[in-house]
Every structure is written in C-alpha cells, then in structure tokens.
Amino acid sequence: MTSKLRVSLMVTCLGDMFYPEVGVAIVRLLRRLGVAVDFPAGQTCCGLPLFNSGYHREAREVARRTVPLFRESEHVVVPSGSCAWMVKQEYPGLLADDAGAHREAQSLAARTWELSQLLVRKLGVTRLPSRVKGRVTYHDSCHLLRGLGEAESPRTVLRNLEGVELVELPGADQCCGFGGSFAVRLPEVSTSILDKKLASVESTGAECLVACDAGCLMQMGGGLARRGSRVKAVHLAQLLEDGA
Amino acid sequence: MAPAKPALERSGPHLREEDTLLSAPVESRSFPERAAGATRDRFLQQALTIATTRFVASRDEVFAAFPQGDALRDRARQIKEAVLQRLDHYLEQLTANVERAGGHVHFATTAEEARAIILDIARRNQVKLIVKGKSMAAEEIHLNEALEHAGMAVAETDLGEYIIQLAHERPSHIIAPAIHKTKAQIADLFARELRREVAADPEVITRLARGTLREKFLQADMGITGANFAVADTGTIVLVTNEGNGRMVTSLPRVHVALMGVEKVIPSMTDLVIFLQILARSATGQKLSSYTTLVRGPRRPTELEGPQELHLVLMDNGRVRQLAGTLREALYCLRCGACLNVCPVYRQIGGHAYGDTYPGPIGILMTAMLRGTPAVKDLAHASSLCGACAEVCPVRIDIPRMLIELREHLDREKIAPWPERLLFKACGWLLGRPALYRLAAPLARLGQAPFVRDGRIRSLPSFFGRWTRTRDLPAVAARTFGERWAALAREA
Ligand code: SF4
C-alpha cells in the first residue's frame, strides 16, 4: 500500500454502545496498515432492525439520511456483516423511488466493506500479528455468509494469525439464534438454538469464539458468560494486535 | 383468473350441512406459548434433531456430488414461473388431456367445494372404505374428518400418515408426517393400538403396518391421493413416494381421486424429468425416490388393473389470488420439505407449534395464503431470517424476503400490536435525530447502574427479562465509540 487509502468507519449502534473497543481496534489496525481513518459525524444505526421487522417507511428515512453522511468517503468499513448487508443490499432498493438518492445509495453500496472483506479483498492483507495464542473457532454470521456470500475472508485472516490455530466449528454456518428482535419475541426458541450452537463451540476445545457481527457476539457471548464457560466470544478485530 | 373448462362439474356436488361441520383442533395457547412449550419437550427435541440432521446431511451430500444441480434448479424455477404466467392455459390443456384419457376433472374454488366434490364422488360410488396416499392438499381441506363424518372409513397407507392416524394427530412435517415421534414412542403407540408387544425397531413397525394395510388395500372401494405434478400435455398425474403405497392406492380400488393445488401443473414430460432430478435430492437426499407413479386415465378395456373411474380435483383455495399477490413465489413450491429441515426455528419447535397445515418457513407463507395475513401476526416473526431456507430451496424461493414483506404488511395494515408499532416508530424517529440519539447512552447508563456487575447485566425486570433470563447482556460502555473518537482522532 503506497498511496494512502481513506476509509470511514461506520461503527453501527451496537458497536457504538456495547462494543466501542471493536471500533477502536479497527481504527488502530487500519492506521498501522497505512490507512487514513475517519469517523463521519451524525451516525446512528443502519436501520436493519426496523427493516427486518417490517417498518420500511422508517428504515427508508434512516437510509435517506445515512447515505449522504458517507458521500465524501472513499471506502466505508463496517464491523458487522449484517449492517454491511443492509447498506449494500437493501439501501438501494429502499431508495428506489428517488433517482438521485438511489444512485448515491448504489455508490455507497459499492464502497462499503465488512472488516474482513476490506482487509483481505481490498487491502490484500492476510498476515497480521495476533494478541492471543492458541485455539480459536469461527462462527459464520448469517448475513455475512448467505447475505454477502462471504465465508473465506475471515478464515483467511484467522488461518494466518501467528500462534493461532483455527479449528472449524461443526455447524459453523448455522444461525446462533439472535435474529434481532427475534431473540426477545421468541426467547425460548432463540435460546434453544443458542444452546446447540454453544455445545458445538465447546466441543472444539477453542478458547476463543470469533465472529464478525455484533449481534451474534451479543447472543453467543451472553450465552457463554451465563454458562460460566471459559470460551470468550470476540470480534475479529479484537484478536488483531494493537487493539483496544 | 378462473379456468373456464374445469368448472364443468361444479354443479354436480351439492353442499350438505354435515360437509361443512369440521372438528378444528382446539388450541387455546398462542404461537409463542406453543413454541416455548415445544422447546421443553425432551422427546420432541430428540426426534427432531435426529431426523433433521440426517435429512440435511443427505441432502448436502447428494447435491455436492451433483454439479448440474444448480443449473437444474434455475431451470425448474423458470418453468414454475412460466406456468404461473399462463396457468389457465395449462389447466385447460391438462383438463382436456385427462378427459381424453377417460378421466374426470373438477375445479374447486374453496376447501369446502373440494370436500363436497370428493364426498359426492364417494357417495355416488357407495364407498365404505377409502385408502389414502400421503397428501398435504387433503390435510389442507381436512378431508379425512369430512369423509369420516359422512360415515366412511379412511385408512392412511403412508407409514408416517398411518402412525399419526393411529395417534389421532396431524402431520408435523410436509414429507415426514411423524417426524416428531421417536422410535420408542411409535412402538408404544402400536403396542397400545394393536394390543401386543412391539419392539422399537423400524423394520418390525413397518412389517406390522404393512400387514394391516394389505387387508385395507384389498377391501377399499376408493383411493385418494395428492399429486406431486400433473403433466398438461399428456394428462398424467405424477406421484413420488418411497413406499410404493401410491401405486397400490391408484390401482387397486374401483375409484381413484387425486386432489391437487392448481399450481402443481407442469407443461410436459421433459419438464417432469427436470423436477424429478431435484425433488428427491432436496427432500431426502435420494437421487430418485423409490417409486415414481405415473397415472394416465382409468383402466382401459385392454388393461388388467387400474380403477374404473379416475377423478382429478384442481383446487384454488386462495392460490389463484396470489398470482397477482405478494406471495406469488410461494406457488413455485414443490413441497420437498428442505426448508423445514434446515430452519433453526423448525428444528426447535417442530411442526405442530405452527398451528396449521403447513409448518416451517414455507408453511408461514402458505398459512398467510390460505388464511390471510392477520393469521400470521405472530408466525411471520418465527424466523431469525438466517436465510438457510432460501439457500436449499430447489426452486430458490426467497422465503426470508417474503417474510419481511409479510411483516411490512402487518405494520401497514395496523395488524401488528400497537405498542410494538409505537416502539419501532419512536426508534425510527430517534434514529433520524443524532443529537438526541447521543443522549441514549448516558440515559441507559443511568438506568442500568443498579444491574451491572463486572460490565455485565445478569438480570433485568419485565420485558428485558426475555433476554436476561438465559443470557448475560453487555452493559452500555462507560464511554461509547462516539465519545472516544475525539481522543482517538488525536492519536493519528
Ligand atoms: S419452499 Fe422450497 S424448500 Fe420449502 S418445501 Fe417448498 S420447494 Fe421445498
């Protein structure tokens, strides 16, 4: 990387309130890779929870005001696959009625990256130092895997971390049971799905469970903590040295 | 759209009062209560895990070894769409060709009409005993109850259907009706019903059922089946089974009635070949099911077996309306059941909790089609939108997107509960006001203070307990990312 790339962080609502250390880790990591990072003011939430629950008028308004915030951004990095999916796959459609806004949303969609994708597919970085040693396992978030078709980038990063052994999680591609408001609309069902996921996590013998989505981390991390498990749920960025 | 020709026998059956009196299963619990109950049923959990895991593994394996599968799925989807675009044409062609082969075709607009047509055929033929092949369409119209109510005996001949008939239950899966039962439960059921010792061995159970059913096949006056496909340009009814019972039901009794949704028509035998290659692979992971039964007309004078009368009942029951509706894509469905097997929700709660004929992701769409959107007020949210269903669907129905659209409809029509609507609209309002939004974190920190231990929250009152009963919640950070940015910007 010679010419300095500019990347804006879309921190997302969960990232902002519950996992600020993930955002901090991303900023420091990207800077060390020679990327100029900024944080456009006025960010709230991408509107995915509204959209998925059927509140499309409200989601449309969120999209309408979020897109221009990143007008000047060369690239946008998002710590959650689901929010990246929202921006890339749903914003253009939501703003289809307004030709100008639609065009701008399409442009933003093309410039938006989930973190692991930015690292591997845009920056071409695969070898990174690690803050932890030992065995880790990876959970595929539904929106990153099936929404954005991305299974490889996070694994590429993890496989190349020094001192880290990536063990495949049996049923890695199965939902963790979060699903946004689903987790509280049908809490018993959500928990039953989670229990199976966590049993699988514990079967790997990994010390770290890595995911690229704040929602899944909230669900799986919350479940692991409640069980008193020694496995920690962490965001990919938190593994990469120089984090928070 | 109403196909003109098939209405010809509409005047035939007359609705009698008893035809419409049906015992609907009484269920007072709400969907969330039923779903929660199912997660606590140890036997159900065991049965579901074993069966769905096996189905999914077989399906994945057989498609992994079938590189042309993807292209065939695309082709199958195109054929389905082409059929829907000219549905009346294909139904007319099908009708003409079934009649040319000596069969009768009936068109039923509603479930009630379909029941009346079939009852009328049975009465005219003085039917006493009916053998049935597995049919979700028959379940949809509660056909067994109607026939029994009219004094006829009905014997299910598919093993799974036979089991649930013995248990007086309803199917809990589109292709595996008794999937919710363990081997041991089935053995107990047989022992009780047949008053003898029964080992929990599938082979023993199957042999027992076969013995009982053989008698029924020989005595039955009428056979009723569904149809996986009906081929328009030949008038062929196609049944896909694994037990061969479909063949017996369609050939031994004097009368055969096939009931199908109008969307099951396909143009030609060439198309059938495409569907057959993906149907069993998606359903059970088999390359082909053990039996593919093709029925074309009743017995001809030169033939030794087959029914004397053949009837095909084409049923609308809410489908035709969706040709121009938001659920149109659901009419592509082949009823393979793959979307149920991979659905994390179905895998936890099984089919009965859904509370209607069709369970699982596609079942939510079918319930909306048959009963209207208000009927899926809760069910529309019975999905984490993980997308696994769309990934395995042989005709690539985008179920998650359609569920989101159903939810949108629930808001637009004000069917969703008003506290929920108010909450989401307030959130939407707040997200448009970053200055106010920034106050949310400090307020949350105040509110959460009494509950936080080591940065985590283990218990919260009322609504929030839905999360914290089983999961810790991270506390809102001491400083949000937004609050840390100014310092972080200076680091650069
Ligand atoms: S929706 Fe697709 S996967 Fe589900 S039963 Fe129908 S054809 Fe099979």
In three-state form (DSSP H/G/I as H, E/B as E, the rest C), the secondary structure along chain A is CCCCCEEEECCCHHHHHCCHHHHHHHHHHHHHCCCEEECCCCCCCCCHHHHHCCCHHHHHHHHHHHHHHHCCCCEEEECCHHHHHHHHHHHHHHCCCCHHHHHHHHHHHHHEEEHHHHHHHHCCCCCCCECCCEEEEECCCHHHHHHCCCCHHHHHHHHCCCCEEEEECCCCCCCCCCCCCHHHHCHHHHHHHHHHHHHHHHHCCCCEEEECCHHHHHHHHHHHHHHCCCCEEEEHHHHECCCC
**What is the percent of chain B with per-residue pLDDT over 90, rounded to a whole number?**
87
Give contacts of B408 with chain A, Cβ < 8 Å: 54-56
The atom number, within ligand 1, closest to the CA of B332 reads 7
Give contacts of B349 with chain A, Cβ < 8 Å: 189
- Which class would CATH give A126-239? alpha beta
Give contacts of B32 with chain A, Cβ < 8 Å: 185-186
pLDDT at position B484: 97
Q: Kindly tell me if the per-residue pLDDT of B14 is higher than 70.
A: no
CB within 8 Å: B482 and A16: yes
CB within 8 Å: A24 and B484: yes
| Residue B178: DSSP 8-state | T
CB within 8 Å: B411 and A54: yes
Query: Domain limits at B356?
Result: 324-412
Confidence of residue A194 (pLDDT cuts 50, 70, 90): very high
| CATH code of the region A6-121 | 3.40.50
CB within 8 Å: A194 and B408: no
Ligand 1: residues with CB < 6 A are B 174, 282, 333-339, 362, 392-395, 397
- Tell me if chain A has a CB within 8 Å of the CB of B50: no
Which residues are CB-neighbours of A229 under 8 A, at least 6 positions away? A198, A202
Cα–Cα distance measured from residue B159 to residue B244, given in angstroms and rounded to the nearest whole number: 11
Average pLDDT estimate for B22-46? 83
Average pLDDT estimate for B81-108? 98
B131, B265: one domain: yes
Residue-averaged pLDDT of chain B: 93
Average pLDDT estimate for B22-35? 74
Q: Kindly tell me if the per-residue pLDDT of B286 is higher than 80.
A: yes
Report the residue from B32, B405, B407 with minimal CB separation from A186.
B32
pLDDT at position B162: 94
pLDDT in tens, A174-190: 999 999 999 999 999 99
Among B320, B350, B371, residue at a domain's last position: B320
Q: Kindly tell me if the per-residue pLDDT of A131 is higher than 50.
A: yes
**What is the percent of chain A with per-residue pLDDT over 90, rounded to a whole number?**
92
Contact B331, B157 (CB under 8 A): no
CA B259 to the chain's CA centroid: 16
Average pLDDT estimate for B110-125? 98
Q: What is the CATH number of the domain that holds B408?
A: 1.10.1060.10
Contact A212, A79 (CB under 8 A): yes
CB within 8 Å: A186 and B36: yes
CB within 8 Å: B432 and A62: yes
A220 to chain B, minimum CA–CA distance in Å? 8
pLDDT at position A127: 86
Specify the number of domains making up chain B: 3
Contact A235, A24 (CB under 8 A): no
First-to-last alpha carbon distance for chain A, in angstroms, is: 24
B188, B301: one domain: yes
Give contacts of A21 with chain B, Cβ < 8 Å: 477
Confidence of residue B19 (pLDDT cuts 50, 70, 90): very low
Q: Kindly tell me if the per-residue pLDDT of B89 is higher than 90.
A: yes
Q: Kindly tell me if the per-residue pLDDT of B7 is higher than 80.
A: no
Residue B317 backbone dihedrals phi, psi, to 5 degrees: 45, 50
Range of lowest pLDDT (A98-107, B9-18, B409-418)? B9-18
Give contacts of B471 with chain A, Cβ < 8 Å: 191, 194, 219, 222-223, 225-226
Q: Which residue has the least CA distance to atom 6 on ligand 1?
A: B333
- Quote the ipTM score: 0.96
| Residue B181: DSSP 8-state | S
A6 to chain B, minimum CA–CA distance in Å? 13
Mutate to test the interface with A, among B30, B345, B431, B469 (most CBs of A within 10 A): B431
Among B269, B290, B320, residue at a domain's last position: B320
Q: Kindly tell me if the per-residue pLDDT of B17 is higher than 50.
A: no
B36, B23: one domain: yes
pLDDT at position B194: 84
pLDDT at position A2: 52
B382, B450: one domain: no
The atom number, within ligand 1, closest to the CA of B336 reads 8
Q: Kindly tell me if the per-residue pLDDT of B42 is higher than 80.
A: yes
- Tell me if chain A has a CB within 8 Å of the CB of B419: no
Range of lowest pLDDT (B20-34, B132-146, B193-207, B450-464)? B20-34
The reply to whether B422 falls in a domain is no
pLDDT at position A132: 87
Q: Kindly tell me if the per-residue pLDDT of B3 is higher than 50.
A: no
pLDDT at position B21: 40
Kindly tell me the burial class for residue B9, based on how many C-beta atoms sit within 10 Å of its own C-beta (0-12, 13-18, 19 or more): middle
Among B286, B305, B320, residue at a domain's last position: B320
Give contacts of B485 with chain A, Cβ < 8 Å: 39
pLDDT at position B24: 44
A60 to chain B, minimum CA–CA distance in Å? 9
B301, B256: one domain: yes
Contact B485, B470 (CB under 8 A): no
B355, B222: one domain: no
B174, B226: one domain: yes
pLDDT in tens, B163-218: 999 999 999 999 999 999 999 999 999 999 888 888 889 898 999 888 889 999 99
B215, B358: one domain: no
B254, B335: one domain: no
B297, B240: one domain: yes
The reply to whether B419 falls in a domain is no
Q: Kindly tell me if the per-residue pLDDT of B34 is higher than 90.
A: yes
Cα–Cα distance measured from residue A166 to residue A155, given in angstroms and rounded to the nearest whole number: 8
Cα–Cα distance measured from residue A199 to residue A220, given in angstroms and rounded to the nearest whole number: 11
- Tell me if chain A has a CB within 8 Å of the CB of B388: yes
Q: Kindly tell me if the per-residue pLDDT of B328 is higher than 50.
A: yes
Average pLDDT estimate for A93-101? 97
CA distances from B297 to B245, B250, B306, B312 (A): 19, 11, 9, 10
Q: Start-end ranges of CATH 3.40.50 in chain A?
A: 6-121, 126-239
Which residues are CB-neighbours of B251 under 8 A, at least 6 positions away? B223, B305, B306, B307
Average pLDDT estimate for A147-167? 96
Average pLDDT estimate for B86-114? 98
B311, B339: one domain: no
Confidence of residue B27 (pLDDT cuts 50, 70, 90): low
Average pLDDT estimate for B381-391? 98
- Tell me if chain A has a CB within 8 Å of the CB of B59: no
CA torsion angle A133 A134 A139 A141 (round to 10): 0
